[in-house]
Amino acid sequence: MHTFLHVSDLGPLDVALREAAEIKQERYKYEHLGRHRTALLIFFNNSLRTRLSTQKAARNLGLDVVVLDVNQGAWKLETERGVVMDGDKSEHLLEAIPVMASYCDLIGVRTFAGLVDREADYAENILTQFIRYSGRPVFSMESATAHPLQAFADLITIKEHSEKPRPKVVLTWAPHPRALPQAVPNSFAEWMRAADVDLVVTHPEGYELDPLFVGDARVEYDQMKAFEGADFVYAKNWSCPGVTNAADYGRILSTDREWTVSDRQMAVTDHAHFMHCLPVRRNMIVTDEVIESPRSLVIPEAANREISATVVLKRMLEAL
Ligand code: AN0
Ligand code: CP
């Protein structure tokens, strides 16, 4: 595997899930693969889980790890070609990428959508330059439009806790005070469609996700109706994807706290598990009661980030 952005990069999901289960039992089984190899993890944005779990995964595989926070101590990077660099940016990505690549064997990149230019965000402007100019395998640690390591961990978690062969999984929008990317719901929808689950997406009108990710998944604008009989509820905020109205891209269209996941909605589910990728704002996205309930999976879900990252890095090392 040379790039990791979409579910298709991983090949058959049943094989990947078996590999994940095996690695969870024996985390250091492939420790020899990373010997004398280095993974470089580059963060253009904040992270707690991805930063820690990906480092742990790399160590499971015997890799050396170098972490770079671009905004703390590196030169400010220009990402657009053709710009006259007379502003505050001292270095261009076009030099920085091959330089960084010369010190490592694998590269992980965390970068958020700008939420201003839909086309640039959906072209994955920064990640694409790493893929094109580094000559190294590159994996998304959440890029502008996708968060595949999260979606893979989510799928592992659902498979581990599912009491039915084809569970009903509801992806619900929830309110948030700041505009957030669509990366998490995009990947979650993409991965659930590829898995054997009954996916229902619910959000206020105007929040329609890009068809590239959501395909023809069922969309239900009535949140209570969507929750009926659900086995898993996956909450997330996202800003307007600009699918129905391009001018609204990146905007907050609703702050309706009726959408905050509470016991009221959970009561109509089939004793559903609650999931969220974290970080989560309590009593905006989900109430204290729901996130603290025994049906909440947010902690095992985050723990599975180590497992999804170990499988992905293992695949990349095997292909070197
Ligand atoms: C980010 C997002 O919504 O994409 C990261 C989630 C993993 N969330 C925040 O910035 C709060
Ligand atoms: N879920 C997730 O990716 O969290 P971080 O932003 O803390 O890495």
3 state SS of 149? helix
Give pLDDT, residue 88.
Answer: 95
- Given the CA of residue 150, which atom of ligand 1 is nearest to it? 7
Average per-residue pLDDT for the chain: 97
Residue 89: HSE in the Cβ half-sphere, 13 Å Cα cutoff: 15
pLDDT in tens, 218-253: 999 999 999 999 999 999 999 999 999 999 999 999
Exposure string for 97-111, b = 16+ CB within 10 A, e = fewer: beebbeebbbbbbbb
Q: How far is CA 27 from the centre of its chain?
A: 22
Q: Do domains 3-146+302-318 and 150-301 have the same CATH topology?
A: yes
Give pLDDT, residue 93.
Answer: 96
Across the range 161-174, mean pLDDT stands at 98
Ligand nearest to the CA of 48: 2
For ligand 2, say whether the CB of 48 is within 6 Å of any of its atoms. Answer: yes
pLDDT of 287 over the 90 cut: yes
pLDDT in tens, 186-203: 999 999 999 999 999 999
For ligand 1, say whether the CB of 108 is within 6 Å of any of its atoms. Answer: no
- Given the CA of residue 237, which atom of ligand 1 is nearest to it? 3
For ligand 2, say whether the CB of 1 is within 6 Å of any of its atoms. Answer: no
For ligand 1, say whether the CB of 184 is within 6 Å of any of its atoms. Answer: yes
Find the 146 Cα to ligand 1 centroid distance in Å.
11
Find the 207 Cα to ligand 1 centroid distance in Å.
17
Pick the CATH number of 3-146+302-318 from 3.40.50.460, 3.40.50.1370, 3.90.1200.10, 3.40.50.1820: 3.40.50.1370
Across the range 4-33, mean pLDDT stands at 98
3 state SS of 79? coil
Q: Give the residue, out of 115, 178, 180, with the most ligand 1 atoms within 8 A of its beta carbon, to mutate for a pocket test.
A: 180
Give pLDDT, residue 187.
Answer: 98
% residues pLDDT > 70 (the chain): 100
For ligand 2, say whether the CB of 278 is within 6 Å of any of its atoms. Answer: yes
Task: For residue 24, give the nearest of 32, 16, 34, 14 by alpha carbon.
Answer: 16
- Given the CA of residue 176, which atom of ligand 1 is nearest to it? 11
Ligand nearest to the CA of 110: 2
pLDDT in tens, 201-224: 999 999 999 999 999 999 999 999
Find the 180 Cα to ligand 1 centroid distance in Å.
6
List the domain boundaries for the chain: 3-146+302-318, 150-301
The answer to whether 176 touches 261, Cβ cutoff 8 Å, is no
For ligand 1, say whether the CB of 279 is within 6 Å of any of its atoms. Answer: yes
For ligand 2, say whether the CB of 308 is within 6 Å of any of its atoms. Answer: no
Q: Give the residue, out of 44, 54, 67, 278, with the most ligand 2 atoms within 8 A of its beta carbon, to mutate for a pocket test.
A: 278
Rounded to whole angstroms, the Cα distance separating 220 from 202 reads 5
Rounded to whole angstroms, the Cα distance separating 313 from 306 reads 11
For domain 150-301, give the CATH number: 3.40.50.1370
pLDDT in tens, 93-151: 999 999 999 999 999 999 999 999 999 999 999 999 999 999 999 999 999 999 999 99
Q: Give the residue, out of 43, 52, 112, 278, with the most ligand 1 atoms within 8 A of its beta carbon, to mutate for a pocket test.
A: 112
- Given the CA of residue 112, which atom of ligand 1 is nearest to it? 4
Nearest residue (CA) to ligand 1, atom 11: 279
Give pLDDT, residue 73.
Answer: 86
